[in-house]
Amino acid sequence: MSTSGSMPASGSTPAPGSKSAPDASRRSERSRRAIFDAALALVSENGYARTTVEGIAARAGVGKQTIYRWWPSKAAVLLDAFLDLQDRAVEAMGGDAGSEIPDTGDLAADLKQVLRATVDEMNDPAFELPTRALAAEGITDPDLGARFTEALLEPQLQHYVRRIEAAREAGEVDPGTDPRLAVELLVGPLHHRWIHRTLPLTHAYADALVDHVLRGLAPRG
């Protein structure tokens, strides 16, 4: 899930020039964790524009050059911090980072499980505040928005697309179903409530969305 080739993956890549690989690896992992936590905290508190690599380094207790050794820019650090945040959220819900949507053979149950977890995530301040800061920046900065959409959003949408393609294969939805459109019908309303804070995001709402969308996708006899 890394977007920068030189970023240390969790404990697996010793920092360049290290003499003792295991110790350096532990130090790298600690630094990586501290940098991500600092980046997410600062972007939550001050917004994207006022977050700097210098500020992240100071808060994380590392040198600025440590960050620049692994990431080329502020945007790259934040992108990896968000990917890591997503992975941890998935793991906290009992899944594997980067894992597919479950396929128990019951599309409605599988989608409800994932949308309920998404609702929980959207309601969790640890996730919500930095994600709002990032979304706000991506809305007005097309380049940054495109990078975030490509690296963070599209991989998630593709998980849904593949689950709905599998359901189409299995005859659970109509053969004429457009999986991409179906996915947008599921996640679009959730995002709309979240971004514009119109009405509460609840498990009952997630369930109702799934039921309504699947009714429209039912095989036509």
Q: What angle do CA 18, 20, 21 make, to 5 degrees?
A: 75
185 is an interface residue for its own copies by CB under 8 A: yes
- # of chain residues touching its own copies (CB under 8 A): 42
State the nearest-atom distance from the C-beta of 55 to its own copies, in Å.
18
| Of the candidates 94, 95, 86, the residue with the CA atom closest to the CA atom of residue 131 | 86
Provide the minimum distance between the beta carbon of 96 and its own copies in the complex, in angstroms, as a whole number. Answer: 25
CA–CA dist 130, 176 (Å, integer):
39
Cβ closest to its own copies, residue 89 vs residue 152: 152
* Amino acid at residue number 12: S
Binding to its own copies, residues 54-93 (CB under 8 A): none
Residue 200 in tokens: 């509460």
Binding-site member from 139, 200, 202, 219 for its own copies (CB under 8 A): 139
Note the helical H segments in 61-151. 64-70, 74-92, 107-122, 125-140, 142-148
Sort 165 into a burial class: Cβ within 10 Å, 0-12 / 13-18 / 19+: middle
Please select the residue that binds its own copies; options are 91, 106, 154, 169, rule is CB under 8 A. Answer: 154
Task: Tell me if 162 contacts its own copies by CB under 8 A.
Answer: no
Site string for its own copies, 19-58 (x = CB under 8 A): ----------------------------x-----------
The answer to whether 55 and 42 are in contact (CB under 8 A) is: yes
Interface contacts to its own copies, rule CB under 8 A: 47, 132-133, 135-140, 142, 145-146, 149, 153-154, 157, 178, 180-182, 184-185, 187-193, 195-199, 208-209, 212-217
